[in-house]
Amino acid sequence: MLGSTGSIGVSTLDVVARHPERFHVVALTAHSNVERVVEQAIQFQPRYVVMVDAKRAQQVRERLAARALGVNMAKNTEVLSGVDALCEVAALPEVDVVMAAIVGAAGLLPTLSAVRAGKRILLANKESLVMGGEFFMRAVQESGAELLPVDSEHNAIFQCMPAKVQTGLENAGVARILLTGSGGPFRNTPLAQLPAVTPAQACAHPNWSMGRKISVDSATMMNKGLEFIEACLLFNARPDQVEVVVHPQSVIHSMVEYLDGSVLAQMGNPDMRTPIAHALGWPERIRSGVPLLDLIKVAQLHFEAPDEARFPCLRQAKSAALVGGWAPIALNAANEVAVDAFLNEKIRFTDIANLIDGVLQGMTASTIEGIECILAVDQEARRSACQALERLRR
């Protein structure tokens, strides 16, 4: 479980706990939430707990040992730290399934480690695929790993797609992918008010309960932009074969339109336990704990085209998808720096897109030939973003 203390991790463990006869947790990993990972370790008794930071790993050891059940836990659960340890537990022989739910670029290396080990990867970390691009997908094919999407939109598309989609959409009889998005909390906010919105307002998503970073991405629609890039890679689609549709109710999670005019949609309540349960149980269906959809209560479904003047981050992501290679890597890196700055009240909400634009325009095109190239572009874009941030703050 890569990223066990975030919203996806908590939801995953909720589903896992409903099926103790089916699943056993081998490893829990977390960034900094010591209290939550200790509670999870006591409940699920994994073989390993991994913290990114060595100091927090020591805190976990001490708190496990101090708990009433901690005598056995201290003996049976090994607490590790660092990125190398994340990569090691993702590739353990006794691990069959890896939930990749670390937020941001930090998830790339451990997810890639699971790929190279030929695991079944439940991909909730879209940034790994956005950064890794074709290199990541080649690694999946060469290792024989299974890649199952957990993002609600891509999981919906996966459910509506035929198995042979990687041969090309036309060969599978598919005309286009309709990628839905709620439009976030500022879909109808007057444009003049956007510079003054606060992090708390940006994180107040109308439908979904998510972490702070992804909530801001939803508010800017960068989240949908990253999902646009991810859809092209997962389903071997050209950018012109993917269309973003704003759907405020978040009941239809995405659709696939076929050449004969048929449109298949996956529907359900907006709860991440549904796609998580689908991916955990696939190809079987297992209970998720999510209430069944009440269509009478929903009553109406609304759709509209996204306003790219309101959501310039979506336009930026589409442009990066067309360029490919280095561009999505730089886009993601610049966005992570910008969102962090906004959450820490160093820049305005509308400065997020401005900062990303500056980074993309200042980058030198480069060929991506491996993980070293990916990491180099990521670091260059982050340096450029930090410099742009300093200029914005003057």
All structural domains of the chain with their residue ranges: 7-149, 164-269+292-309, 325-394
Phi/psi for 102 (5° steps) reads: -70, 135
Residue 283, preceding bond cis, omega within 30 degrees? yes
Overall fold of domain 325-394: Rna Polymerase Sigma Factor; Chain: A (1.10.1740)
Q: Which residue has the tokens 């708190």?
A: 63
Q: What is the pTM of this model?
A: 0.92
Beta strand 97-100 pairing with 146-149:
unpaired
Are the CB atoms for 15 and 276 separated by under 8 Å?
yes
Distance CA 195, CA 159 (A): 39
Distance CA 338, CA 316 (A): 14
Q: Which residue has the tokens 């160093």?
A: 346
Distance CA 163, CA 24 (A): 28
Please list the residues that pair with 255 across neighbouring strands. 178, 265
Are the CB atoms for 136 and 110 separated by under 8 Å?
no
pLDDT of the chain, 394 residues: tens digit per residue: 999 999 999 999 999 999 999 999 999 999 999 999 999 999 999 999 999 999 999 999 999 988 755 455 545 899 999 999 999 999 999 999 999 999 888 899 999 999 999 999 999 988 899 999 999 999 999 999 999 999 999 999 999 998 766 556 888 899 999 999 999 999 999 999 999 999 999 998 777 667 889 899 999 999 999 999 999 999 999 999 999 999 999 999 999 999 999 999 999 999 999 999 999 999 999 999 999 999 999 999 999 999 999 999 999 999 999 999 999 999 999 999 999 999 999 999 999 999 999 999 999 888 888 899 999 999 999 999 999 888 877 6
Apex CA 200: angle with CA 191 and CA 130, to 5°?
75
Which tokens go with 174?
């598919």
At 202, is the secondary structure helix, strand, or coil? helix
At 154, is the secondary structure helix, strand, or coil? helix
Distance CA 257, CA 33 (A): 42
Distance CA 277, CA 95 (A): 18
* pLDDT value, residue 326: 95
DSSP code string of 207-262:
S----HHHHHHHHHTHHHHHHHHHHHHHTT--GGGEEEEE-TT--EEEEEEETTS-
Beta strand 97-100 pairing with 78-81:
unpaired
Distance CA 327, CA 238 (A): 16
- Please provide the CATH number assigned to the domain covering 7-149: 3.40.50.720
Residue type at 239 in one-letter notation:
P
Distance CA 229, CA 223 (A): 10
Please provide the size of the chain in residues. Answer: 394
Exposure letters 49-88 (e unless 16+ CB within 10 A, then b): bbbbeeebbebbbebbeeeeebeebbeebebbbeeebbbb
Residue type at 101 in one-letter notation:
A
Beta strand 48-51 pairing with 27-30:
parallel
CA dihedral 129, 279, 179, 4 (to 10 degrees): -60
Count the alpha carbons within 13 Å of 336 in the hemisphere toward its beta carbon: 21
Residue type at 45 in one-letter notation:
Q
Distance CA 127, CA 107 (A): 8
Beta strand 242-246 pairing with 174-181:
parallel
Task: Dihedral sign for Cα 98, 103, 104, 107, please.
Answer: negative
Please list the residues that pair with 256 across neighbouring strands. 177, 264
Distance CA 277, CA 210 (A): 17
